[in-house]
Amino acid sequence: MTFDGRPDRDAEVVLVGRSNVGKSTLMRELTGHDFTTGKKPGVTRQPNHYDWAPESFMFTDLPGFGFMSGVEEDRREAIKTDVVRYVEENAEHVLAGVLVVDGKSAVDIIDRHTNDEEIPHDVELFSFLQDVDVPPVVAVNKMDKVEDRDARLNELCERLGLYPPWQQWDHIVAPVTAKRGSIEPLREILRERFREAKRDDLLKFVS
């Protein structure tokens, strides 16, 4: 069953990523609107849209994918398929695809799932955004829990095919701590994306 009920908007920023990485909390910081969040993975099962009709723009928090306790594998795969299909079908309207990862665990999770037969979800999705011409942004969340900040960000960039040091990718990689409202690096990247799309009218949403 695919997602339905997408508002008819010309411009969109989508948030994608594994379950329990803080997408909904990040969405709350971007919009000022409180969405259902929880420690139990998989709380978000349908897209959460927050839109502004006059500007024909919205932020969309897509359901998390990957392992979810108590959720069967076929259901997890169906969610991932729906997420991919949603981005693909609406790519022409998406000004940025924000891949949200957990700064503390992302590298370990990627390494755990890397083998000859499997591409880790995070790496796969980052490449997918590029393939469908959706400008990718990596919001590295929960950075308050990361001690070796630069080393960890360098490792993550390397896994995503971005040659370290991570600072040269600061137009793509945004270290944030959504729970504390510390998301200015992400806002700056989105401001640049909006300018590139000649949508200065949207800058007020990331000011």
Domains, in order of start, for the chain: 11-206 (3.40.50.300)
DSSP string of 48-89, one letter each residue: EEEEETTTTEEEEEPPPBS--TT--HHHHHHHHHHHHHHHHH
The CA distances from residue 91 to 8, 42, 168, in Å, are: 14, 24, 26
Give the integer Cα–Cα distance in Å for 102 and 23: 10
pTM for the model stands at 0.91
Give the integer Cα–Cα distance in Å for 148 and 104: 9
Query: Considering only CA atoms, which of 136, 193, 24 is closest in space to residue 206?
Result: 193
Point out the least confidently predicted range of 25-39, 106-120, 186-200: 25-39
pLDDT at 161 over 70: yes
Would you state the structure tokens that stand for residue 107, as one six-digit string?
């590298």
pLDDT at 167: 97
Per-residue pLDDT reduced to its tens digit, 53-90 = 999 999 999 998 865 555 676 777 888 899 999 999 99
pLDDT at 70: 58
pLDDT at 39: 45
Segment 97-121 mean pLDDT: 89
pLDDT at 116: 63
